[in-house]
Amino acid sequence: MTLSTNGPNSDLIYKGTTVTIEIDPHAGFCFGVDRAVHLAESLLQKDSQAYCVGDIVHNQKEMDRLSQLGLTFVNHQELENQTSKKVLFRAHGEPPQSYQLANQKQHQLTDATCPVVVKLQQRVKKAWETMINLNGQVIIFGKRNHAEVLGLVGQTQNQAVVIENMNDLDAIDFSRPIEVFSQTTSSLTDYKLFCERITSKAQSTLKINDTICRQVSSREPWLKAFVITVEVMIFVGGTKSSNAKFLHGVCKSHNPDSFLVSGVDDIQMEWFAGKTRVGISGATSTPLWQLQEVAQWLHQNLNEQIKN
């Protein structure tokens, strides 16, 4: 393998005889996921086995790697059936009931909730306490069954109204006071459109909070700029990752030759016929090592294809 030695991101550029492969320098885990993975690794260095409630990240390869280190993934019912275990809460956050359960079952808890999500949970809880006195509503814009949203709704005694798209607006009583929050990984564009719509319909006080994580939202404009510099874009993401599907859509809208894969087994060599510049990026749940794995595989196979 020949690596370019030009520039600060030289370890992200793979130069072959005719094909150059570049990894998006802004790709890799977001801060919250990276922190959770490091906490899991530290926990497993001290003990050969630990339990994580739910998928630590929506990426099967990374989960397989952590499983081999001794991390077991369980659901809330399975957690309830265990006692006195080392337990990790993932970056997405948990509702208050999960902490109560961990305490009742005497689990040794490592809380890897992203600090951004922790602050949002606190704000949602405070807003709910205010809205109770005003006969108001707390609105969460996000995916109804997403782990982060479940944790946010839990701050409101499960009374917050979750809005996934414009078709859900009938669930809002616009005659009552409203305070709005967004899941941290929602599309900034979609959230803005939603806020414009409810602003036009509100009949009482309305407070809109900007709660989308900027580390996540900044990926969108960067991808728009990066994807037009390459001929083929390989976007690596887990099949459960809504962030992967969204960001791949961003790529596809600006470069039709953008393909979503979960690993090298999904790659089709005909995508690269006659192409000389390939880009690789991934979701906030895709580790850099997996992007490098794909880049190395492409570097080897594309050059072999050219020789033949």
Q: Which residues contact 153 (CB under 8 A, 6 or more apart)?
A: 95, 140, 159, 160, 162
> What are the pLDDT digits (tens) for 42-67?
999 998 899 999 999 989 999 999 99
Question: Strands across the sheet with 71-74, in order?
Answer: 71-74, 50-53, 86-89, 108-111
> What are the pLDDT digits (tens) for 245-301?
889 999 999 999 999 999 999 999 999 999 999 999 999 999 999 999 999 999 999
75's enclosing H/E stretch is none
The answer to whether the predicted template modeling score (pTM) of the entire model surpasses 0.75 is yes
| DSSP one-letter string for 118-171 | HHHHHHHHHHHHHHHHHT-EEEEES-TT-HHHHHHHHTTTT-PEEE-SGGGGGG
CB 245 within 8 Å of CB 62? no
> What pLDDT is stored for residue 242 in this prediction?
78
Q: Is the pLDDT of residue 197 over 70?
A: yes
User: What is the 3-state composition of the chain as percent helix, strand, coil, each rounded to the nearest 5?
Assistant: 45, 20, 35
Q: Does domain 31-113 have CATH number 3.40.50.11270?
A: yes
CA atoms within 13 A on the CB side of 60: 6
How far are the Cα atoms of 38, 54, 75, 180 from residue 146, in angstroms, in the given order? 22, 11, 14, 17
Q: Which residues contact 299 (CB under 8 A, 6 or more apart)?
A: 1, 14, 16, 19, 21
Bridge-based pairing of strands 161-163 and 137-141 is: parallel
So which residues are the catalytic ones?
148
> What pLDDT is stored for residue 240 in this prediction?
80
CATH code, 117-212: 3.40.1010.20
Q: Which residues contact 136 (CB under 8 A, 6 or more apart)?
A: 130, 176, 177, 178, 179, 204, 205
> What are the pLDDT digits (tens) for 143-178?
999 999 999 999 999 999 999 999 999 999 999 999
> What pLDDT is stored for residue 5 in this prediction?
25
Alpha-carbon span 241 to 260, nearest angstrom: 11
Alpha-carbon span 187 to 207, nearest angstrom: 19
Q: Which CATH architecture has domain 10-29+216-307?
A: 3-Layer(aba) Sandwich (3.40)
| Cα torsion through 102, 105, 106, 111, rounded to 10 | -10
Closest CA to 306 of 264, 266, 265, 278: 278
| DSSP one-letter string for 195-245 | HHHHHHH--S-EEE---S-HHHHTHHHHHHHHHTTSSEEEEE--TT-HHHH
- For CATH 3.40.1010.20, the residue range(s) in the chain are 10-29+216-307, 117-212
CB 236 within 8 Å of CB 291? yes
Quickly count: other Cβ atoms within 10 Å of residue 63's Cβ: 17
- For CATH 3.40.50.11270, the residue range(s) in the chain are 31-113
Q: Tokens standing for 302?
A: 């594309």
Alpha-carbon span 123 to 146, nearest angstrom: 19
Q: What mean pLDDT value characterizes the chain?
A: 92
| Cα torsion through 35, 39, 42, 47, rounded to 10 | -160
> What pLDDT is stored for residue 109 in this prediction?
97
Provide the percentage of residues in the chain whose pLDDT is more than 90. 83
Alpha-carbon span 199 to 216, nearest angstrom: 25
CB 154 within 8 Å of CB 183? no
Q: Tokens standing for 279?
A: 């880009």
